[in-house]
Structure 1
């Protein structure tokens, strides 16, 4: 590995790009600017897409007809470093210890996304081109639910159309054992209210005789999956494509 690659990694990690706290908003912007400058320097067409909160960095190469298209996703925002007293070193000042880099965001997700960028850089330098059409989408709101990523993807649906998306933001089976994840589970957040009697009822008198909303809610939740853990909602798997060779 080139020495300057490690220094670039350190520079990336020094941005306190905490998305959960608006006091870091300026730092997030500077981190995004750093990414744009880096991606521009390796020959990609890069733009900073403003959102209602933190900007999205979007980069691509010169697309060629007949080539497959790959989208690489990552995020430059990080979790808060608290509690600070549990750190052996400042969270935004990288430390190399026993072959590992310690800093907030080192593996979630700055290390992985920079590894992709440096791999792209090496390929371009050695071959003057990439073998695929490439999109890089790097957001600044992953740690707060990616609230503006959906609208961005919808607005640019056709431009971002690809054969495969690569996300290096998962875990490994064990230390020293690189792991390829074929997919991740999504998240749906909603609020369900189950109501019962209009007044408090004594469980010793009415328990069992009057329906308990908690019991009804438990029964409702139990219908979402079958005994094998598969989702039991009608039509849930209709658009799921089988794995195939790529």
Structure 2
């Protein structure tokens, strides 16, 4: 049977065709958060299923309460099985006027730095990353006639809106989806030359709350100075969440937070990540988290509280002199280690209610969350993947934590009993979720080659 080198040569020779297939995928405006794009999400699911069928996988589009799930699998009796997870849905494109080209008309361009990139919504997150895996399967099947492992591919259409339908789907189809290890390509490189395997993910808790004062908006001249202003109340509560050192003041918030081993912290600090390097490209310069923690700890292994949006009162042009009746905040908390989302949600509700003044009441929206995930550092599959990536990139892969959250990874562990290797090829400047999202073609090309090596190693 042909070896890995022949497969890698096929990846190289087929790069243009791979990019053409990716471009077709990117043209589908599969925005999951907007009901107006439901048909496009269905189109993307059908596209993915057809692609999997073309690779020799038995593929089906499965219904859920929301957007469909795509499942493809081989059953050759191979010694091992991997489950690959990705998503075909994308973020909204607003504000549209900040895009240099239409977001669903893929554009390949070479910048002044000599690097070539593909621009489109979903170019990196996650259609481009998913395609690196699919193109690796294509090359392996073409050259070797079969895959080195049996593969189950799970592609969902609701990742960008919190995967509301996926937990139930996973539980209902657990036996079909079980594998030796899960693989996810929805993360990034350490830098353009250094691959990374994400070995921990922060959990997340979403919630919102509304402060209500008077039973209607009030004239600010007649009632100003006497009536409670819910926006003032909301602002004071949110401001009280952090003290001057950046620590979160919600009682019990840190009770279950475990310290990372000193050896891990030393290894992270040795990477030399500075505020200038990390924050500079987005126009900032000072790390604003817990002042007694290094920057890399702040973004990888410490819990956070963020306000994602505040609204209340008059939002139109010009002035409307009112004291609004309500004010609302949407917040998220990134959780670590053993923090329980339900316990943190209850503590936050107590925190808000303890600061509620007379004549105001609070209502809370639904709290949704997922726990943090940690891959054992002595995992044999982790070691195999690191060796495979080093062979492709010529540098030692970095084992890092991620400040982001992929809730389904926790489900893979809790429901299916498997660890997940998070191997992605995105870059910090890929503008994920922002206008002019892009994917570096070197990352796409070498990412595909990397999956050939990883799959072969896992066999």
TM beyond 0.5:
yes
Between 1:71-80 and 1:123-132, the stretch displaced more is 123-132
TM-score, with normalisation over the residues of structure 1?
0.81
Q: In structure 2, what is the Cα distance between the partners aligned to 1:186 and 1:105?
A: 23
RMSD of the alignment, in Å?
2.9
TM-score, with normalisation over the residues of structure 2?
0.45
1:77 to 70, 74, 89: 89
Match of 2:305 in 1: none
Contact 1:63–1:134 (CA<8 Å) still a contact in 2?
A: no
Q: Secondary structure at the match of 1:220?
A: coil
Contact 2:199–2:375 (CA<8 Å) still a contact in 1?
A: no
Distance 1:48 1:79, change over 3 A: same
Between 1:26-35 and 1:166-175, the stretch displaced more is 166-175
Distance 1:164 1:86, change over 3 A: same
Match of 1:222 in 2: 254
- Cα distance per residue 1:177-222 (max 9 Å; x no partner): 3322224233244689xxxxxxxxxxxxxxxxxxxx989x722223
Distance 1:233 1:180, change over 3 A: closer
Higher strand share: 2
Cα shift at 1:225: 2.3
Distance 1:233 1:173, change over 3 A: closer
Contact 1:19–1:28 (CA<8 Å) still a contact in 2?
A: yes
Q: In structure 1, what is the Cα distance between the partners aligned to 2:121 and 2:206?
A: 27
Distance 1:43 1:28, change over 3 A: same
- Cα distance per residue 1:11-36 (max 9 Å; x no partner): 00000010010000001111111111
Unaligned runs of 5+ in 1: 193-212
Q: Does 1:177 align with 2:312?
A: no
Match of 2:378 in 1: 243
1:21 to 34, 37, 58: 34
Cα shift at 1:245: 1.2
Higher helix share: 2
1:161 to 167, 178, 188: 178
Q: Does 1:95 align with 2:107?
A: yes
Cα shift at 1:241: 5.3
Cα shift at 1:167: 0.6
Unaligned runs of 5+ in 2: 1-11, 111-115, 210-239, 243-248, 261-301, 303-335, 341-370, 382-459
Q: In structure 1, what is the Cα distance between the partners aligned to 2:189 and 2:123?
A: 15
Q: Secondary structure at the match of 2:174?
A: coil
Contact 1:123–1:130 (CA<8 Å) still a contact in 2?
A: yes
Distance 1:152 1:96, change over 3 A: same
Match of 1:59 in 2: 72
Q: Secondary structure at the match of 1:82?
A: coil
Contact 2:200–2:375 (CA<8 Å) still a contact in 1?
A: no
Bigger RCO of structures 1 and 2 (CA < 8 A, at least 6 apart): 2
Contact 1:223–1:232 (CA<8 Å) still a contact in 2?
A: no
Q: Secondary structure at the match of 2:250?
A: helix
Contact 1:59–1:136 (CA<8 Å) still a contact in 2?
A: yes
